[in-house]
Amino acid sequence: MGGSFSGRVAAGSAVSGSAVSGPTVRLRRLRKNGGVRRLFEETTVELRHLVQPYFVVPGRDVWRESAPGTGLWQVSADRLIDEVAPLVGAGAGGVMLFGVPATKRDDGGGLEEQLSPLRAATEALRRAYPELPLFADVCLCSYTTHGHCGLVHDGVIDNDASLAVLARMAVLLGQWGIDFVSPSDMMDGRVAAIRRALDDARLHDTGILSYAVKMASAFYGPFRDAALSAPQFGDRKTYQMPAGNRREARREWMLDVDEGADALLVKPALTNLDVLREARDGCDLPLFAYQVSGERAMLVAAAEKGQLDLRRAMDECLVSMRRAGADAIVTYEARERVRRP
């Protein structure tokens, strides 16, 4: 690698006649101490870039981690205000709410009742923190018994019938005060359908953060336990993307731009840094990375074995997402940063 290049550097130092031969260009000058390194740091991760997910469950006084160490917090609406207070105080980027309904239904009906914990959470947060950016997931997997992200008819995920339900969910969330509804279902045409429904409901200021590129991934495991959303038959491969398809990923986010998304999201983050970079270079919308539950679980497991330092490994992952082009990151690490800055 670089044979002629290193030769040129060596020749240069010889020509300059320096007493001690060696490289003229020394990048280590830029790293020589903490002050110099800080001055030339190109990419940073700040709390304002981080969005913390919560799983909003029915009931009162619920506050539990889905399993020890996951960082996936299930919380009832009444406890959310206090939990979020330190995040707001420290200037975190926002909060992403996932609803876990009391009962599941497969016909797309009864949405208002299913969403009632989410409504209480949204309205309370909106009142307490008028300027805290609020995101809410739009998807059917937690709301149906089969755990698929759309409606199922005769064992097949019915794309177009699902759009109406997703759009209705988005309108309700918008009415309650969500800033950006966040469709993660991966049905075709959902961004356009949601935009139309929001506008018809005069929710012109409710935005759409689209999960534009969402791979069918092994890294969602801990999330599905927390959201009670694991598919009960088959898998998600007819709607989530194959991990190896770069051109198809571009078509996904380009479509969402055309359909009126306000911001785009790519997930998992760490396995899709190239996709993030391509989206960053290819459009000017704000771009999110989602460091998903399995990405965190990997680091936590290795740290528990004493194989790596969790904080440093986490920092390295997050900064690589920002370097790849993410403006913001949805991550379970946000509240950890507030608790242990």
Residues contributing to the site for ligand PBG (CB under 6 A): 137, 139, 141, 149, 184, 220, 223-224, 229, 236, 292-294
- Active site residue: 32, 104, 214, 305, which one? 214
Judge whether 305 counts as a catalytic residue: no
Nearer to ligand PBG, 13 or 271 (CB): 271
What H or E segment, with its residue span, contains residue 152? Answer: strand 152-153
Nearer to ligand PBG, 180 or 220 (CB): 220
Question: Do 207 and 179 meet the contact criterion of CB atoms below 8 Å apart?
Answer: yes
Separation between Cα atoms, residue 275 and residue 322, nearest integer Å? 13
CB of 131 to ligand PBG, least distance (A): 25
Nearer to ligand PBG, 87 or 292 (CB): 292
**How far is Cα of residue 6 from the mean position of the Cα atoms in its chain?**
42
DSSP 154: T
DSSP 110: -
What H or E segment, with its residue span, contains residue 192? Answer: helix 190-200
CB of 39 to ligand PBG, least distance (A): 35
Nearer to ligand PBG, 131 or 298 (CB): 298
CB atoms under 10 Å from CB of 242, counted, come to: 10
CB of 26 to ligand PBG, least distance (A): 43
CB of 292 to ligand PBG, least distance (A): 4
- Give which of 173, 169, 167, 197 is closest to 119, Cα–Cα: 173
Nearer to ligand PBG, 78 or 106 (CB): 106
- Active site residue: 32, 104, 237, 267, which one? 267
CB of 40 to ligand PBG, least distance (A): 34
Question: Do 275 and 266 meet the contact criterion of CB atoms below 8 Å apart?
Answer: yes
The token pair that represents 232 in the structure block: 């009960």
Listing DSSP states for 132-144 in one string gives S-EEEEE-STTTS
Residues designated as active site:
214, 267
